[in-house]
Amino acid sequence: MAPPHVVDDQVRHRIVVEDETATKQQYERNYVPMEFTIKEIRDAIPAHLFVRDTTKSIMHVVKDLVTIAAVFYCATFIDTLPSLALRIPAWIAYWIIQGTVMVGPWILAHECGHAAFSDSKTVNTIFGWVLHSALLVPYQAWQMSHSKHHKGTGSMTKDVVFLPATRSYKGLPAPAEQQKQDELNNTQEHHHDHHESIFAETPIYTLGSLIFVLTFGWPLYLFINFSGPVHAHWINHFQTIAPLYEPHQAKNIFYSNCGIVAMTSILTYLSILFSPLTVFMYYGIPYLGVNAWIVCITYLQHTDPQVPHFRDNVWNFQRGAACTVDRSFGTIVNHLHHHIGDSHQCHHMFSQMPFYNAVEATKHLKAKLGKYYIFDDTPIAKALYRNWRECRFVEDEGEVVFYKH
């Protein structure tokens, strides 16, 4: 028999969980899709915030590249430190800092893809292609697939990334049958197969799967459309394959591939010149850090217990765009990442708005949308863990569906 204090803790935990579940169920029952038109939302934001300034955008690129160069320069002194006890933490600090800073140019290239960087298509293409290629991102290919995501955000059929799995796809029983099984499990001894499945609920499994996705999620998305629709798995960003791409887009895919080949060639040359280990230490590990940041940011923007998804008969663009989550990553990271985390709902509404105006525009957007503006102040690590555990599937039926555990 468990000690009294353990039993009390278990009871308190169960009460908290039951209260949270009841609150979530009430929120879902009372949810009514937004009725604002996109014009009404746009009219609530001052017109000057939509004006792009190419010089200002380029200065952000310069600032990011100077910061990366400064961090790199400091790292060249690490191996001159007198002891391994100093060198190891110094390298770890470099990887964390450089991986965080290098997200900045990634975001700026993303802005180029939305034509939010400049009024000039040529300027957008040049800067976007160079910056993304330097980070091994196929610029034009991802630009096109990302455009499909923006056009279908929140739709159970139109979106092409972060699309929730359904109950039936997960192989789960119908809700009534699931309730019977849960009641049986609570009153009878668990079967062996239940003990096996319960491993997926353990913290160690959750942390392990999170680490895997943060490390490999981005390249898996590029190569096999990981996190895309089930019917579009194994489609990559390097070939002109439907439904992500059409035959007439082959030229753009070719340009993207040229960028990847060029950057790969540069890295190969540097590896020969300095050694593969040197390139891995200075570029490879920070590159993995960039990938982890991108997966973390985008996952938390689109996956949350309070975010609904819509069937075709109730979905529209602005409803889907509003179903993204703003969250702060801290003052320094928000600045380094050009506020892509704390102004994302505005970005989805108006992706051609210059990124440096999005924070101010978000204030007007929040005032207009009211309860439909979503901001989550849960600490990032806690939000990642919670969402990974709780946002597992949605129901097969219903016009508006929410993630369930």
pLDDT tens column, 94-146: 999 999 999 999 999 999 999 999 999 999 999 999 999 999 999 999 999 99
Hey, CA dihedral for 339, 115, 126, 300, is it positive or negative? positive
Q: Which of 230, 206, 225, 210 is nearest to 141 (CA)?
A: 225
Structural contact between residues 281 and 154, judged by C-beta atoms closer than 8 angstroms: no
Structural contact between residues 100 and 291, judged by C-beta atoms closer than 8 angstroms: no
Structural contact between residues 290 and 213, judged by C-beta atoms closer than 8 angstroms: no
Structural contact between residues 296 and 214, judged by C-beta atoms closer than 8 angstroms: yes
- Using the predicted structure, report yes or no on whether residue 7 has a pLDDT greater than 50: no
User: Mean of the pLDDT values across residues 247-251?
Assistant: 91
- Using the predicted structure, report yes or no on whether residue 56 has a pLDDT greater than 70: yes
- Using the predicted structure, report yes or no on whether residue 253 has a pLDDT greater than 80: yes
pLDDT for residue 260: 97
d(CA 302, CA 163): 9
User: Could you give the C-alpha distances from 57 to 118, 142, 363, in angstroms and in order?
Assistant: 7, 21, 22
Helices (DSSP H) in 135-240: which residue ranges?
Answer: 139-152, 175-187, 192-198, 203-224
pLDDT for residue 137: 98
Q: Which of 349, 381, 358 is nearest to 40 (CA)?
A: 349
- Using the predicted structure, report yes or no on whether residue 201 has a pLDDT greater than 90: no
For residue 187, name the pLDDT band (cuts at 50, 70, 90). low
Q: Looking at this protein, which amino acid is placed at residue 226? A: F
Q: What is the DSSP code (8-state) at residue 164?
A: P
Structural contact between residues 152 and 160, judged by C-beta atoms closer than 8 angstroms: yes
What integer best gives the mean pLDDT of the chain? 90
User: Mean of the pLDDT values across residues 293-317?
Assistant: 96
For residue 22, name the pLDDT band (cuts at 50, 70, 90). low
Q: Using one digit for the tens of pLDDT, what is the confidence trace for 324-333? A: 999 999 999 9
pLDDT for residue 345: 97
- Using the predicted structure, report yes or no on whether residue 19 has a pLDDT greater than 60: no
For residue 188, name the pLDDT band (cuts at 50, 70, 90). low
**Cis ω before 243 (30° cut-off from 0):** yes
For residue 240, name the pLDDT band (cuts at 50, 70, 90). confident
Q: Using one digit for the tens of pLDDT, what is the confidence trace for 69-81? A: 999 999 999 999 9
HEC states along 277-316?
A: HHHHHHHHHHHHHHHHHHHHHHHHHHCCCCCEEECCCCCC
The fraction of the chain above a pLDDT of 90, given in percent, is: 76
Q: Using one digit for the tens of pLDDT, what is the confidence trace for 259-270? A: 999 999 999 999
Structural contact between residues 387 and 304, judged by C-beta atoms closer than 8 angstroms: yes
For residue 179, name the pLDDT band (cuts at 50, 70, 90). low
